[in-house]
Chain A
Amino acid sequence: MNNSNNKQTTPAWATGILSAIVWGGGQWLNRQYLKGLVFFLIGAGSLTAELTTGHYNDMSAGFRLRDNGGFFLKGLWGLVTLGTQPRKMGMSGLTPGDHSIVLMANGIIALFVILILVFFYVWNIRDAVMARRRMNESGIHQSSLQDMKQLWESMYAYIVLSPAALLTLFICILPIVFGVLIAFTDYSRSNTPPTKLVHWVGFDNFVTVTQVFSWMHTFLNVLLWTFVWAILATITTYFFGFFQAVLLNNSDVKLKKLWRSIYILPWAVPAMISALVFKSMFNGQFGPISQFLLDTGLTDERIYWFTDPNHTYLARILALLINLWLGFPYFMALIGGTLTTVSDSYYEAARMDGATSSQTFWKITFPIVYKATAPLLMLSFVSNFNNFGVIYFLTEGGPANPDYNFAGNTDLLITWLYKLTLDNRLYNMGAVMSIIVFLIVASFSLINLRKSKSLEEI
């Protein structure tokens, strides 16, 4: 501040160049020491991280990224090469090989951190230039503290967002990048590190899915069933929920609250528990339903609901019915709420015109409720499309289908993916399928989004 009449003003670009050479250098020249120190520490910190995590003290054999690189350099090297030496049995025991997947994960982490550092680096230069320019124009020196207070004001939104952003970046986006990259490798159970190296294979996996008959056959059939399932599951729960809500809305029904509390139970009980309970009830060998049918003489032998490969439709229909049990209360509650908002004047007018009750329903009630709940129908479709819980806990995808690659007759894409990746460790194929599922779900969601206004509101 006392230096505001300084005759020889430093040009703004000079501070920028200094900051580009040494982190925080420009700020130091601007005599914003605290800010300069913060930038310097970020720069020095990352350099120290690279040096301490690498092996820079022993470069007798020359500098090699694999042996000498630290967090950043070795990370990038690993991401590009995925390792060069598998673990081998040597004369002196096991040699430490490269673990391709760890290298890849480290590489992506390094890449993300580098991107953040680049952001800070550019900011460091920009900040020095801007601060100097302001000072040169106004002739008033601003201290770091004043500057940072101003920064807090102007950056409030970013600062408030940063914890959520960092968490999302590292736990959501980074794993997705990793997952997408896996689709372009040969990472599978026959090729697991550290005994073997994983390689980049380009679009080979996508070609395999489309050209190898068994993959395409399984994929198309599972996809078809997933669509049938998602459509039927949504429609049945919606209409039955609607029906139940309309019945409960009837003025002759007493004890509405009690009925509603009963019907809401399937929604309130955790779905995984309900699904497992149904699985036990419909257990072919010991379950009470099969036993009951046998005892009453309705069937001659026990019915293996979810495991009999000769009656695949039995398993599918039963899964849909149990899903109806699980899913209708949600729509019932929702539509019940919407029904109370429909103005009585509509019904009055309809009665005056002598409309029958079915006319009243289809011409008044249904359109109003449908309009209010249509976006949720699409949402429900998407969640049924990816309904892991019901299928996995109820049928485990069964009955088994020998014509399919690792899938059963009730498997949805999402449970098939689970089997591919976690049970059968075909990580690369699982990743390819994940991308395809994403594209399908995303296109549906986008159609839904275009209809609603939320995009324009951003």
Chain B
Amino acid sequence: MKAKRTSLTTILKTTLIYIELIVVAVIIIYPLIWIVGSSFGSSKGLANASPIPDHTTLNNYIDLFRNTNFPIWYVNTLKVAAANMVFGVLLSTLGAYAFSRFKFKGKKASLLTMLILQMFPAFLTAIAVYMLFLNFGLLDSLTGLAIVGVAAQLPYNIWLLKGYIDNISMSFDEAALIDGASRTQIFIRIIMPLASPMLTFLAVLQFAAPWMDFILPRLLISSEEKKTVAIGLYSMISDQTKNEFTLFAAGSVIVAIPIAILYIVLQKYLINGLTAGGDKG
């Protein structure tokens, strides 16, 4: 009798677990289906948006590419994201290599400075960056946007990578030194490959950031043809009178899908990277 009761409670428990899993899954998926459905809807505007549109149409997407600057914004963001990724990863790896492998004067002070820099709210610097770029002619330019993107993340990235490289055994370096490798060669041939899981993590973050970075582009970019998707998409729904909700939906789907796939495919790297970041404070 006892065995039967246990199995009954087990079945009950499993059922409850499945109910919970399904309920949460529905809550997760509904808003996403809703926005995808809205993007295929035939009627403009928010009031008629529904997850399963009455007349499925691609008009919103066609509209988005023909009648708005979305393609330009997309290419702009792609450029900034690529530059952000390449230079962000390169500079932070170089920095982390120096901090991890060499002893030099001012090392502790610089590491502490970078730690403190991470804690400043971005707004404190926003106006100053504006003034600075005004002076150097970098206002309203994608180069400027990429420079800030790289610089703003440098302190955090260097800290994160330093912790990771610290854990790579020095014996690899020493073996290479005996073989006559220079320190630059060691960096390229040994440190970079061994740190590649962390580099992947940083590369994904650096690439994904410009797509959703809002404050800096809004401040630094003024002309329509230099806008990034975050600004463009926001302007589509922040203006109550224009009623471009379905366009926004289509744009969001196009932006979100590649990034979502990237995250899901690379989730293992991302979780490892975040855990390592936590260990290092």
Q: Which residues of A contact B (CB under 8 A)?
A: 101-102, 104-106, 109, 156-158, 160-161, 163-165, 167-168, 170-180, 182, 244, 247-248, 250, 252-253, 259, 261-274, 276-281, 283, 286-288, 291, 325, 330, 333-334, 337, 372-373, 375-376, 379, 382, 386, 388-389, 392-393, 414, 417-418, 421-422, 427, 430-431, 434-435, 437-438, 441-442, 445, 448-449, 452, 454-455, 457-458
Contact = CB atoms under 8 A, between A and B. Distances in A.
Instruction: From B183, B261, B267, name the one whose CB has the most chain A CB atoms within 10 angstroms.
Output: B267
Contacts of A279: 237
Interface string B205-244: 0001001101100110000000000100110010000000
Contacts of B177: none
B267 A278 contact: no
A454 B163 contact: yes
B131 A273 contact: no
Contacts of B215: 388, 418, 422
Contacts of B214: 272, 389, 392-393
Contacts of B117: 168, 172-173, 176
B230 A272 contact: yes
A161 to B, nearest CB: 5
A441 B279 contact: no
A430 B124 CA distance: 8
A158 B183 CA distance: 13
B155 A438 contact: no
Contacts of B13: 252
A434 B121 CA distance: 6
B78 interface: no
B245 interface: yes
Contact of A325 (B18, B28, B128, B262): B28
Contacts, number: 274
Interface residues of B, number: 102
A268 B163 CA distance: 26
16 contacts: A109-B135, A161-B94, A168-B114, A170-B132, A178-B128, A178-B132, A179-B120, A263-B25, A270-B211, A272-B234, A287-B46, A421-B127, A434-B121, A434-B123, A445-B281, A458-B107
A431 B14 CA distance: 55
Contacts of A430: 123
Contacts of A457: 166
Given A268-B263, A286-B45, A179 B128 contact: yes
B241 to A, nearest CB: 13
Interface of B: 10, 13-14, 17-18, 20-21, 24-25, 27-29, 31-32, 34-35, 45-47, 49-50, 91-92, 94-95, 97-99, 101-104, 107-108, 110-121, 123-129, 131-132, 134-135, 147-148, 150-152, 154-155, 158, 163, 166, 183, 187, 208, 211-212, 214-215, 218-219, 230, 233-234, 237, 245, 248, 252, 255-256, 259-264, 267, 270-272, 274-275, 277-281
Contacts of B112: 458
Given A164-B95, A176-B117, A277-B31, A373 B124 contact: no
B278 A156 contact: no
Nearest to A440: B119
A156 B126 CA distance: 33
Contact of A175 (B118, B128, B274): B128
Contacts of A386: 121
A265 B256 CA distance: 10
Contact of B274 (A180, A325, A334, A458): A334
B212 A273 contact: yes
B164 to A, nearest CB: 12
A157 B104 contact: yes
A427 B192 CA distance: 43
Given A164-B95, A247-B20, A109 B259 contact: no
B121 A263 contact: no
B259 A268 contact: yes
A291 B91 CA distance: 51
Contacts of B32: 265, 269, 277
A261 B219 contact: no
A252 B14 contact: yes
A170 B112 CA distance: 17
Contacts of A261: 264
Given A247-B20, A273-B255, A156 B102 contact: yes
Contact of A435 (B50, B124, B259): B124
A376 B127 contact: no
A252 B10 contact: yes
Contacts of A454: 163, 280-281
Given A171-B129, A264-B264, A157 B21 contact: no
Instruction: From B13, B21, B230, name the one whose CB has the most chain A CB atoms within 10 angstroms.
Output: B21
A160 B212 contact: no
A180 B166 CA distance: 34
B267 A265 contact: no
A171 B151 contact: yes
A422 B126 contact: yes
Given A157-B104, A161-B95, A272-B230, A337 B263 contact: no
Contact of B21 (A247, A265, A375): A247
A265 B108 contact: no
Nearest to B243: A286
Contact of B219 (A180, A277, A422, A452): A422
A407 B79 CA distance: 36
Given A172-B125, A438-B121, A277 B35 contact: yes
Contacts of B280: 452, 454
Instruction: From B32, B110, B116, B281, name the one whose CB has the most chain A CB atoms within 10 angstroms.
Output: B281
A170 B263 CA distance: 32
A270 B259 contact: yes
A263 B28 contact: yes
A85 B259 CA distance: 52
Instruction: From B95, B112, B234, name the one whose CB has the most chain A CB atoms within 10 angstroms.
Output: B95
Instruction: From B28, B152, B211, B219, name the one whose CB has the most chain A CB atoms within 10 angstroms.
Output: B28
